[in-house]
Amino acid sequence: MSYYSVLDVTPADDKWVADYVAVSGKIVAKHGGKYLARTASHEQIEGNDQPAALRIILEWPSKEAALNFMKDQEYVPHLEARTKGSVSHHYLIEAKDDLA
């Protein structure tokens, strides 16, 4: 079953961004994932204000693929740089409708 990663990221500094962007796509693809959106062009239309500089959505073929990406030794230093250099929230969402 497919899973989606939904992230909001606000860099505290941008020192890590160029290196992160240069390699993350390759590592995402290695684990069968693909970026659906990676953008600063977004607006919140409902709820309490939750500002973020970037919104990112990735699609994964499985939960295991997403988790393996997060543990990939090539990715780990970039993950550490992102989490240290930003305020980030990452949600892993199963592609199903529990209310259907």
Q: What tens digit of pLDDT does each residue of 33-79 get? A: 999 999 999 999 999 999 999 999 999 999 999 999 999 999 999 99
Q: pTM for this structure?
A: 0.93
Give the three-class secondary structure for 78. Answer: helix
Contact criterion met (CB below 8 Å) for 63 and 9: no
Structural contact between residues 89 and 56, judged by C-beta atoms closer than 8 angstroms: no
First to last CA, the chain: 17
Q: Which of 97, 95, 82 is nearest to 7 (CA)?
A: 82
- Domain 3-42+52-94 sits in CATH at 3.30.70.100
- What's the CA gap between 100 and 97, in Å, rounded? 6
Kindly indicate the confidence band of residue 2, based on its pLDDT and cuts at 50, 70 and 90. Answer: very high
